[in-house]
């Protein structure tokens, strides 16, 4: 490949990764075209983009960005996955597909980058166990509303008891 073509490809990769802060690297070596296309479609349903890139060109294109650590030590062609609702959702989906050995046997997680820090395959699997953004929000809302509901129950409880006793007394007098 000539130097000019490498520069064009590098510029195209830079454009594709513009604004991407976190990504997961996967290997799809050995997958046929139909399976890869089916995989891309399944990822696209969850707003996840995947493209295969030569490692040396990706390293050149991400130089000086937060994605650069992901390509350190990687070899051969890699597929870059990014997007989704948040990084944890992205990682959960990629790890789920990695575990699904029947459908996508050659699809394996090789690493990634989160907040400019390189993750190996085990690090990516550890992140997949974290709660997603929606789960974190629901836990936070539960913690915020918990004391209020406890206080409300404590204040309304004696009043309801008194009300039921008065009702019984009034029904008995009739």
Q: How many CB atoms lie within 10 A of CB 108?
A: 16
How many structural domains are present in the chain? Answer: 2
Residues 156 and 77 in one domain: no
Residues 23 and 65 in one domain: yes
For residue 173, the model assigns a pLDDT of 56
Residues 149 and 115 in one domain: no
Residues 87 and 122 in one domain: yes
For residue 101, the model assigns a pLDDT of 67
Average pLDDT by stretches of 10, the chain with 174 residues: 84 86 87 87 90 86 85 82 87 86 81 87 86 82 83 79 82 66
Three-state DSSP class for 138?
helix
For residue 106, the model assigns a pLDDT of 83
Residues 46 and 114 in one domain: yes
104 contacts 31 by C-beta, under 8 angstroms: yes
Residues 39 and 111 in one domain: yes
Give CA–CA dist 121/9, Å, rounded. Answer: 27
| 89: CATH | 3.30.70.1730
Domain that holds residue 83: 3-130
- DSSP letter at 116 equals T
Residues 17 and 90 in one domain: yes
53 contacts 80 by C-beta, under 8 angstroms: yes
Residues 125 and 157 in one domain: no
Three-state DSSP class for 32?
coil
Residues 113 and 142 in one domain: no
For residue 9, the model assigns a pLDDT of 87
Residues 75 and 140 in one domain: no
């Amino acid at each position: 490949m000539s130097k000019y073509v490498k520069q064009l490809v590098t510029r195209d990769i830079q454009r594709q990764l513009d604004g991407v802060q976190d990504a997961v690297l996967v290997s799809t070596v050995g997958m046929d075209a139909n399976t890869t296309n089916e995989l891309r479609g399944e990822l696209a349903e969850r707003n996840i983009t995947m493209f295969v890139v030569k490692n040396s060109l990706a390293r050149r294109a991400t130089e000086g960005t937060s994605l650069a650590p992901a390509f350190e030590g990687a070899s051969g062609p890699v597929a870059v996955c990014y997007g989704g609702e948040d990084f944890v959702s992205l990682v959960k989906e990629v790890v789920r597909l990695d575990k699904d050995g029947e459908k996508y046997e050659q699809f394996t997680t090789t690493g990634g980058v989160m907040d400019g820090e390189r993750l190996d395959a085990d690090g990516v699997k550890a992140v997949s166990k974290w709660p997603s953004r929606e789960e974190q929000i629901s836990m936070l809302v539960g913690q915020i509303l918990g004391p209020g509901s406890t206080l409300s129950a404590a204040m309304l409880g004696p009043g309801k008891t008194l009300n039921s006793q008065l009702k019984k007394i009034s029904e008995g007098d009739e």
